Amino acid sequence: MKPLHNKSIIITGGAGGIGVATAQMFLVEGGKDVLLVDLNQKALDEVKKKLDNPGVHTFVADVSKANDVKAYTDKAVELFGKLDIVFLNAGYEGVVKPLADYPEDIFDKVLDINVKGVWLGLKYAFPHMQKSGGSIIITSSVAGLTGTAQMMAYSTSKHAVIGTMRVAALEGAPYQIRVNSVHPGPVDNRMMRSLEEGFAPGAGGEVKKGFEGQIPLGRYATNEDIASTVIFLASDKSKYITGATHVVDGGFNI
C-alpha cells in the first residue's frame, strides 16, 4: 500500500510551482483527493487539466481573508468528508528594497499572506482535524532562519511562521495533529525570478549565478525537491515528527 493511500489534502498556493509538484507527488504516492487553492481561476484550471485526475478539485480564495479560508476549508470537508493533510504553501515575496524605503502597503500585504494566511489556515483546519489527527505543513524559507538584506517583509514573515508553527504543534499534539515547517533555499521557479530581478534589474541571470555559487550542492532546488520533503512530512513515515524546521537548501544555510 502506498504511503498516502486514501488520504486527502488541501494545498494553498496550489497553482504555483511547489504546489503543483506536491499535488503530483501526492497522487503518485496514493493520495485520493486534492483541493488546490489559489487566487487565479485560470491558473487553477490549467493545473487541473495538467494533473488529469478526478480527485483534483480547485477553489479560488484569498488566504488573507477569514471568510475565504473558512470557505475553502469547509469545501474540502464537504468534498472529502475529512481533513488528513493541509499544506499551507501560499506566499508572497514582496519587493527588494532597503528597510527605510520599504513600502508600507507591500509590507502589510506580505505579512497578511505569509503570516495571517497561515494562522487562518490553522484556525479553520484545527476543529476538523482534532477528530482524527493529521499533518499540517507550512512553507517558510531559509530567510526565516537568517536575515536577508533588503527583504525586510519577507524575512520577517518567514521568521514569524516558525513561531506560529511551534504554537500550533503544541496545541495540536493532544489531538495527534502534527505541524512542521519546510524551509527552502533558492528554488528554480517564478518567485526566484522575481527576487533575482529585484536584486539586480536587468541582470537577474548574474544574481542566479551568484546564489548558485553559495550553494554547496551547486544548483537551485527544483519544485520536486521541496515537494519530496512535504510528502514525507504528510505521511506516517514522519509520524513522530512535529514542531520541527526542515531545511531543504542544498547546504545554502550551513
Q: Show which residues are catalytic.
A: 154
Q: Exposed (0-12), middle (13-18) or buried (19+): which is 53, by Cβ within 10 Å?
A: middle
Helix (H/G/I), strand (E/B), else coil: 53: coil
Let me know: does 62 contact 37? Beta carbons within 8 Å.
Answer: no
Q: Which residues pair with 11 in a beta bridge?
A: 36, 87
**Residue 145 has what DSSP assignment?**
T
Enclosing H/E stretch for 148: none
d(CA 75, CA 193): 33
Q: Which amino acid is at 110?
A: V
As a whole number of Å, the CA-based R_g of the chain is: 17
d(CA 179, CA 172): 7
40 φ/ψ angles, rounded to the nearest 5 degrees: -110, 110
- Find all residues with CB under 8 Å of 125, minimum gap 6, and list them: 10, 73, 83, 86, 136
Q: How many residues does the chain have?
A: 254
Q: And the C-alpha cell for 201?
A: 534589474
